[in-house]
Structure 1
Amino acid sequence: MPTQLDTASALALTPGTASPAPGVGANTETHLSSPFAYEPRQHIRTALERAARPDYAAWLRYVESAAACTNPIRLHGNLATVDTRTGEILANRHTSDLPDGVIYKACGNRRHIVCPACATTYQHDAYHLVRAGLVGGKTIPDSVRTHPAVFATLTAPSFGPVHTRDVRHCTCRDKTRCTCRAAPCHARRDAPTCPHGTPLACWQRHTADDEQLGRPLCADCYDHAHHVVWNHHAGELWRRTKQHAERHLNQLARQRGLPKVRLSHGKAAEYQARGAVHFHILLRLDGIDPDNPDAVTAPPDGITSDDVIAAVTLAATTIAYTTDPHPAHLDGWTITWGEQHEIRPITLSASGDALDDQAVAAYLAKYSTKGTEATGHTSRRLTVDTIDLYANPAGTHPERLIAAAWTLGHAPGWTRLRRWAHMLGFGGHFLTKARRYSITFGSIREERAAYKRAQALNGHDPMAEGHPETVRFQRQADLDTKTEETTLVIGFLTYAGTGWHTTGDQLLANTAAAQARERTRAGREELAHDSWEQSSSTPLAA
């Protein structure tokens, strides 16, 4: 990730002012005289001032865990070391003894546009989570490799014609940077107009970065209300679709004299340019063990991936339901999938129309870090004080969608539309999975924390000879009973602020993190090269 050199401080704008809230105002960058006053660039000057301090090495060590974060959380308070056997407080330390008087914690935001470093960590975790459900490992049995699996993409219906880029024969290896010549957007022999007098034809061949993509041909004809309501109910539509597919597969199993089966899924949501979400779904067929329903078992041999594709296709084309009535639409809105959907099998060695497991895992992980930026809108949760900045019933397409969600959300029973107006009505998680599909994010994070804790205690790789191994993918409730630690560090911490104290601190921390990542990458490449040389030098058996 490139280091951001020109990112402004996240603290208050007025130096020396009193602060009504913790972390604002008191730590603003000041322009004091220093040996580096000759440096006109502020981020370089503050970086030199920090590096010249005697506690610079200690500061780098304490910010290491959040060094690559764009907006780290600063916490202050007490850290107590407690004997887990007796409950005695062995030591008590205040963060004022640490550099800057605070503890830095990475923000953990999953959106790449907000914090690229934390989003990259989330993406890597998502990749391992999704792929473990396909190939096993990390407490998932390796037998899942033989389970039939498919990858489905389900889209929203049309709420009105929009500008599109139609490439019928794409030859680019990277579809996100396609340079193929597109077909005309909405070619018509006649020149019809809508009731508002807007032409319903477009002969333009849009490029991939055209700002018109996803925008309605006529914004007044577009059904913005139905659009945000569909986004709001998309999660329930998927739940019913999966239920229907499972019922169809179990009916098929009974007809063939086979035991019951179930579908385990991993799902990522993505915004289209028009602002409607669509789902990328990985579905794995599992069997059911009557004696241990929570176990991941192989399905019967009589059901194949073609049967799963047929079941999901049938559910996607038939499932529909009507929402509760709304004062603006007493009959409710119809919630159903769009006509465009794609369902393909997954294999460990992709061939023909099948997809590779690594490609699917990377695909879902990539979209789990995205948000509404594809629509041209990015904001945090909206309130009555900020809604007017982003909503306009006569404005741009995203502004109309936000206005529709906010207006519809005033009715009783529909208030969640206001809560998720900044997400255009969609309030679901961007990456979800069935409980039995794979491991959890929590187990992955506990594994990382245990590794770093052992690394800090031992001063080097915790897997080296004579040093303890890390805790391997255990539930949070099991950690206290399965670790051999006799002391526990409890933090009584409160929020002190967000962001780095100065742009120079951010430059130094991000640079140190980039160098650490480069050392890790070089080390991995060296280990892989040594492993390859050893395997190639081993003589083949006669």
Structure 2
Amino acid sequence: MTRLPVAPAAVADVAAAVGTDPLTLADLLRVASTPGFDRWQEQIRRTGGCSDPIHLTGTTVTRDRRTGDVLYSYSTADEPGGRLRVACGNRRASRCPSCAWTYAGDTYHLIRAGITGDERKNVPATVRDHPRVFATLTAPSFGPVHNRPASGRCRCAAAHDENDPALGTALDPARYDYAGAVLWNNHAGQLWQRFTIYLRREIAARAGLSQRALADSCRVSFGKVAEFQKRGAIHFHAVVRLDGPGGPDMAPPSWASVELLDDSIRAAAARVAVTVPAAGAQPSRTLTWGTQVDVQPIGALGHEELTEQAVAAYVAKYATKAAETTGTVDRRIGELGELARFDLPAHTRRLIEACWDLDADYPDRLLARWSHMLGFRGHFSTKSRAYSTTLGALRQTRADYRANQERRERGLPDPDDAEGSTLVIAHWTYAGHGHTPGESWLAQSIARDIKTNRDTAREELAGLEATDITGEW
């Protein structure tokens, strides 16, 4: 990035030229004129252009374990502002697009490894021959909403455009079950847990086995992600796979098939029910999945309509999103009065208010605490133990790669080498987070540059490779 000149024209004129406000531009010019600006850029580039970096102060010393000699030392005292900036790691694209991009990439590789196999992630390529489906479980109806049916016209008689803000909102807010909607979101995690229990029971029944015998012959593995529909109800997408009893390394039994898995998923979803007892003015409720259960075979078993890469990319896409599709806020709401500060859609506002109204009746459900998520408090991305690798393992691989790279640059010995083992003594202190307005503008520019370079490199690689890498992160 080229260093910006210090106000060769009036600040307001330059601000208009670069598309920012004068105060942000003034701060931007201050940052660009500060000694150590090049090092600041290097720090931000190493975070990937993080929107809200963590600031650390401290020191690290690398010594020879045998002699005690100092091989390398580092202190943030010599850094811009006396701080080291590291990526925030937030998965939400609305909070930090850069870190969310990395999280989505990790999720893509985690999901894809469980579909196609990847020896580097301890999943054999033979999983492509296992029964695998992409299943979607939805919420029931809580009242009619504006939609785009196959007929082309909504019940309100309008033909809504796909970007119409009315989509997903209640046709009659006075009759819409807002309490039921947020309670369903709040218990969605329990519905999923019970679904996984019933799924194994349904598979065992169709195989003519007891549940104990099923565990000795077949394992059910899955990776799932949660997605908010426009109406504010959560639903789940999951890759479900049948393995042998030892996991992906073992072939499933001969009776395991896509058809059996499809039938078992539908039957299990129909059986699941969670009872919410009466509380306050609220009656007892029985929560179930919606009637729309979709199960599609994946790729290599002769069903090529839904490709392996498309499934992994789809799951990764929603791993970085929360309830933003409904227009809600992306952080906790401390008190209901805070809603006055936000320009929220009326439907979303009513869902949030329903969370607060129900909080006193269901104190153990933390509805007010999770009102910004419309009551949902589960994990957006989960997997079974044997599905594939873990996000932690992927992050560790990346960290090890960077550590090895830096060690080579500094001429330090391999810590695993018995003859040249080292000892690292470090002390770090949290010193804040975030950017000033000018720094934020520059960080966004750096993030765009990084993404452009990656996209260009991917396109060039796609032109060189004979294989299709569509959807790769």
Residues 159 and 227 in structure 1, CA contact (< 8 A), matched pair in contact too: yes
Residues 297 and 303 in structure 2, CA contact (< 8 A), matched pair in contact too: no
Shift of 1:481: 11
- Within 1, Cα distance between the matches of 2:41 and 2:339? 42
Moved more, 226-235 or 255-264: 255-264
Residues 391 and 400 in structure 1, CA contact (< 8 A), matched pair in contact too: no
Partner of 1:251: 205
The partner residue of 2:372 within 418, 422, 447 is 422
Partner of 1:226: 180
Shift of 1:403: 1.4
- Within 2, Cα distance between the matches of 1:389 and 1:420? 18
Look up the equivalent residue of 1:281 and give its one-letter code: A
Residues 78 and 92 in structure 1, CA contact (< 8 A), matched pair in contact too: no
1:495 matches 2:431: yes
The partner residue of 1:409 within 333, 352, 359 is 359
Q: 1:485 to 1:328 in 2, by over 3 A?
A: farther
Shift of 1:455: 2.8
The partner residue of 1:122 within 103, 107, 120 is 103
- Within 2, Cα distance between the matches of 1:481 and 1:418? 54
Q: 1:35 to 1:295 in 2, by over 3 A?
A: closer
Shift of 1:406: 1.2
Partner of 2:324: 373
Aligned counterparts, 1:26-425, within 5 A: 36=8, 38-40=10-12, 41=15, 42=22, 43-44=24-25, 46-75=27-56, 77-81=57-61, 83=63, 85=65, 94-137=75-118, 138-166=121-149, 168=150, 183-186=152-155, 202-254=156-208, 260-289=217-246, 296-330=249-283, 332-348=284-300, 351=303, 354-384=305-335, 386-389=337-340, 396-411=346-361, 413-425=363-375
The C-alpha deviation readout for 1:80-117, integer Å capped at 9, x for no partner, is 32559589795775423211221112222222222222
Moved more, 300-309 or 140-149: 140-149
Look up the equivalent residue of 2:332 and give its one-letter code: R
**Runs (5+) with no aligned partner, structure 2:** 16-21, 468-473
Secondary structure of the equivalent of 1:343?
A: strand
Secondary structure of the equivalent of 1:418?
A: coil
Q: 1:242 to 1:453 in 2, by over 3 A?
A: same
Look up the equivalent residue of 1:501 and give its one-letter code: T
**Runs (5+) with no aligned partner, structure 1:** 4-33, 169-181, 187-201, 461-465, 470-478, 534-542
Q: 1:528 to 1:417 in 2, by over 3 A?
A: closer
- Within 2, Cα distance between the matches of 1:493 and 1:261? 49
The C-alpha deviation readout for 1:224-248, integer Å capped at 9, x for no partner, is 1111111111111111112111112
- Within 2, Cα distance between the matches of 1:242 and 1:84? 52
Residues 93 and 320 in structure 2, CA contact (< 8 A), matched pair in contact too: yes
Secondary structure of the equivalent of 2:111?
A: helix
Shift of 1:452: 2.1
Q: 1:481 to 1:329 in 2, by over 3 A?
A: farther
Q: 1:61 to 1:229 in 2, by over 3 A?
A: same
Partner of 1:538: none
Q: 1:365 to 1:520 in 2, by over 3 A?
A: closer
Residues 413 and 422 in structure 2, CA contact (< 8 A), matched pair in contact too: no
Shift of 1:136: 1.4
Secondary structure of the equivalent of 2:134?
A: strand
More helix by share: 2
Partner of 1:447: 397
Q: 1:230 to 1:527 in 2, by over 3 A?
A: closer
Look up the equivalent residue of 1:357 and give its one-letter code: E
Secondary structure of the equivalent of 2:40?
A: helix
Q: 1:508 to 1:158 in 2, by over 3 A?
A: closer
- Within 2, Cα distance between the matches of 1:491 and 1:60? 24
- Within 2, Cα distance between the matches of 1:355 and 1:398? 33
Higher Cα radius of gyration: 1
TM-score (norm 1): 0.74
Look up the equivalent residue of 1:494 and give its one-letter code: Y
The C-alpha deviation readout for 1:384-403, integer Å capped at 9, x for no partner, is 375553899xx922122111
- Within 2, Cα distance between the matches of 1:39 and 1:161? 52
Shift of 1:511: 3.4
The C-alpha deviation readout for 1:63-84, integer Å capped at 9, x for no partner, is 3222512222223x32232559
Shift of 1:417: 1.3
Partner of 1:172: none
Residues 127 and 248 in structure 2, CA contact (< 8 A), matched pair in contact too: no
TM-score (norm 2): 0.84
Look up the equivalent residue of 1:145 and give its one-letter code: R
Look up the equivalent residue of 2:436 and give its one-letter code: H
Look up the equivalent residue of 2:86 and give its one-letter code: K
Look up the equivalent residue of 2:310 and give its one-letter code: A
Shift of 1:265: 0.8
The C-alpha deviation readout for 1:313-361, integer Å capped at 9, x for no partner, is 111122223123322335x211101111211111237646x42111111
Secondary structure of the equivalent of 1:348?
A: helix
Secondary structure of the equivalent of 2:164?
A: coil
Shift of 1:303: 1.5
Shift of 1:365: 0.7
- Within 1, Cα distance between the matches of 2:299 and 2:116? 10
Residues 36 and 45 in structure 1, CA contact (< 8 A), matched pair in contact too: no
Identity value in percent? 38
Look up the equivalent residue of 1:143 and give its one-letter code: T
Secondary structure of the equivalent of 1:383?
A: coil
- Within 1, Cα distance between the matches of 2:42 and 2:7? 25
Q: 1:467 to 1:457 in 2, by over 3 A?
A: closer
Residues 152 and 159 in structure 2, CA contact (< 8 A), matched pair in contact too: yes
- Within 1, Cα distance between the matches of 2:237 and 2:76? 45
Residues 417 and 425 in structure 1, CA contact (< 8 A), matched pair in contact too: yes
Partner of 1:472: none
Look up the equivalent residue of 1:288 and give its one-letter code: P
- Within 2, Cα distance between the matches of 1:105 and 1:240? 40
Residues 130 and 266 in structure 1, CA contact (< 8 A), matched pair in contact too: yes
Q: 1:513 to 1:273 in 2, by over 3 A?
A: closer
